[in-house]
Amino acid sequence: MEKIKFERVTKKFLIRDDQKKGALREFTAIQDIDFSVKEGEFITLVGPSGCGKSTLLDLLMGLSRPTKGRILIDGREIDGPGLDRGIVFQQYALFPWKTARGNIEFGLEAKGIPKSEWKERADHYLDLVGLKKFADRYPHELSGGMKQRVAIARSLAFNPEVLVMDEPFAALDAQTRETLQAELLRIWEKTGKTILFVTHGIDEAVYLGQRVVVLTANPGTVKKIVDIPLKNWLEDADIKSNPKFVEARHEVWSLLHESEFIGANI
Amino acid sequence: MVSIKKSVGYIKKSKLHKQDSQLHFLTKLFKSSIVIILFLFIWEFAPKLGIVEATFLPPFSDVVNAWWELIKSGELWFHFKSSILRSLFGFLLALAIAIPLGLIIGWYPLMRDLLTPILELFRNTAALALLPVFILILGIGELSKVSIILFACTWPVLLNTISAVKNVDPLLIKSARSMNISSIKLFYKVILPASVPTIFTGVRMAGTGAILVLIAAEMVGAKAGLGYFITYTQYNFLIPEMYAGILTISILGLIINYGLSSIENYFSRWKQ
């Protein structure tokens, strides 16, 4: 079943013109983005800088409106922010004056969940991300990886239909990133959420996604959607050496570098 | 929970460790007080040895004696009370006006851009330069004194509050907005707590400013207060009493600064 559907989504902005002083010109951030995400699917988006991924996520989160086209969730057009979607940002975006638990409860309160259920829910999701012992720590007392776990728990706790992740592991060191990637897959299996994950990393995109949407830049369009034929992420410890992984990785790599090459010649 | 466990563990640690920390505390106390003790020592003996004129700088013990007499007679308390009441009244009034106003101005970019230049102008006009104006318009009573403290305290608090609201991390706002919370909730659940530390910097600046302006205002035209007391004793050549007054002001300043930074620490305990 289709969970999210992008229907020829285009977003244009007015920006300052570099040639003519004081003048504005139209800038197309994304053009005719058209694809859908299945219920319970883990889809990754990968693209060069300027592929309009922030724009696309803002549209999906309902923080801005498309110039043309529309985005549907369960067949309903998005008309603003909503708790059917949860987002995890690269820079965690935790409220520094709230503890790990407080941050999770913030989302629960926003969703209107009765206060009596907060503790149980917060505990459950802190446990899910392995931070039960750190419930009463403030963000500055947590490492980068732990902060991102709290952010994931916060987004999952209000039980959104779709989890949107905006380069969530880009600021972490390689070791922590790998751990969190595996854990995210485990959480995805456990919760069955639809996840839309944006990244710069080709390896990350191929490792996590069931499908990888390759975007091009200026304006952002979908170049190709690559199917990843891997099934046993969590069983195969060294899946990145699997020939299928290598092949898929190479395909995504070629697609990205092709567009860079074309871009350089304009 | 965690902190309770920690402190229990701490108590259980060996006696040796306890002695260690006692020693550490003593070292710290020594370091922080030695120069002050030295300073008082010089103050005591420089006049006694005739290095400075004892008439103009009486030994510290004389000042302490004068101070004690003033406390016993209740005279010092009388002046202290009127000073602290004036400054507290002006200071609190300034907070009550400047914080809400700053939050509103900071929240609306147009208002902020329009008003910030004139506010900067006011802030950089030394309050004491305006003292004659205040006395001219409001007379030499309590009103002019409270007003000038109010004036001096308002600007740092107002400008800091505006910049606090302006500088709230946009990602936090985006994060909260993506959770579909109303503007009012966004304001008091995100903007307000995120602004507290910066607002408090302004409050502390105002606290220091309040004492400074108060004393000067009392020196010019007043019948009570520590500023008045210092000029009065100077005119009447009661030099030890004058120093006692100055010492009281130092202590008052220390108390206010310590009090405000404790409150600040309490509200900013989530920061590094």
**Domain match, B140 and B47 both:** no
B21 in reach of chain A (CB within 8 A):
no
**Domain match, B69 and B53 both:** no
**Domain match, B167 and B37 both:** no
**Number of other residues whose CB lies within 10 A of the CB of residue A143:** 12
DSSP string, chain B: -HHHHHHHHHHHS-HHHHHHHHHHHHHHHHHHHHHHHHHHHHHHHHHHTTSS-TTTS--HHHHHHHHHHHHHHTHHHHHHHHHHHHHHHHHHHHHHHHHHHHHHHHH-HHHHHHHHHHHHHHHTS-GGGGHHHHHHHH-SSHHHHHHHHHHHHHHHHHHHHHHHHHTS-HHHHHHHHHTT--HHHHIIIIIHHHHHHHHHHHHHHHHHHHHHHHHHHHHHS-SSSHHHHHHHHHHTT-HHHHHHHHHHHHHHHHHHHHHHHHHHHHHTTT--
Domain boundaries, chain A: 2-84+163-264, 91-159
Of the ranges A124-138, A218-232, B221-235, which one carries the lowest mean pLDDT score?
A: A218-232
**Domain match, B24 and B83 both:** no
Instruction: Tell if the CB–CB gap between B175 and A93 is shorter than 8 Å.
Output: yes
In order of A130, A153, B18, the CA distances from B188 in angstroms are 31, 23, 44
**Domain match, B129 and B46 both:** no
A163 band by pLDDT with thresholds 50, 70 and 90:
very high
**Domain match, B4 and B127 both:** no
Rounded Cα distance, B206 and B131, in Å: 17
User: What are the tens digits of pLDDT across the range A107-157?
Assistant: 999 988 899 999 999 999 999 999 999 999 999 999 999 999 999 999 999
In CATH terms, the fold of domain A2-84+163-264 is: Rossmann fold (3.40.50)
Question: In angstroms, what separates the C-alpha of B175 from chain A's closest C-alpha?
Answer: 6
b/e code B97-113 from CB counts within 10 Å (16+ = b): ebbebbbebbbeeeebe
Say if residue B10's pLDDT is above 90: no
**Number of other residues whose CB lies within 10 A of the CB of residue A263:** 13
Tell me which chain A residues have a C-beta less than 8 angstroms from the C-beta of B188.
Answer: none
CB pairs A-B closer than 8 Å = 57
Tell me which chain A residues have a C-beta less than 8 angstroms from the C-beta of B177.
Answer: 63, 81
Say if residue B5's pLDDT is above 70: no
Q: Supply the DSSP symbol for A6.
A: E
Candidates B1, B168, B179, partner chain A, best to mutate (most A CBs within 10 A): B179
pLDDT recorded at residue A141: 92
pLDDT recorded at residue A238: 74
> What average pLDDT does the segment A97-105 reach?
94
> What average pLDDT does the segment B205-218 reach?
90
Q: Supply the DSSP symbol for A175.
A: H
- Give me the residue from B171, B176, B270 closest to A97, CB to CB: B270
Nearest CA in chain B to A134: B2
Tell me which chain A residues have a C-beta less than 8 angstroms from the C-beta of B271.
Answer: 96, 140
* Nearest Cα residue to A42 out of A169, A182, A193: A193
Sheet with A2-16: list strands edge to edge. Answer: A24-38, A2-16, A68-73, A76-77
Instruction: Tell if the CB–CB gap between A80 and B180 is shorter than 8 Å.
Output: yes
pLDDT recorded at residue A232: 64
- What CATH number is given to the structural domain containing B67? 1.10.3720.10
**Domain match, B4 and B15 both:** yes
| Count of domains forming chain B | 2
Instruction: Tell if the CB–CB gap between A93 and B1 is shorter than 8 Å.
Output: no
**Number of other residues whose CB lies within 10 A of the CB of residue A126:** 22
**Domain match, B114 and B164 both:** yes
Say if residue A72's pLDDT is above 90: yes
Rounded Cα distance, B116 and B114, in Å: 6
- Give me the residue from A93, A107, A111 closest to B171, CB to CB: A93
> What domain range includes position B7?
1-57
Question: In angstroms, what separates the C-alpha of B29 from chain A's closest C-alpha?
Answer: 29
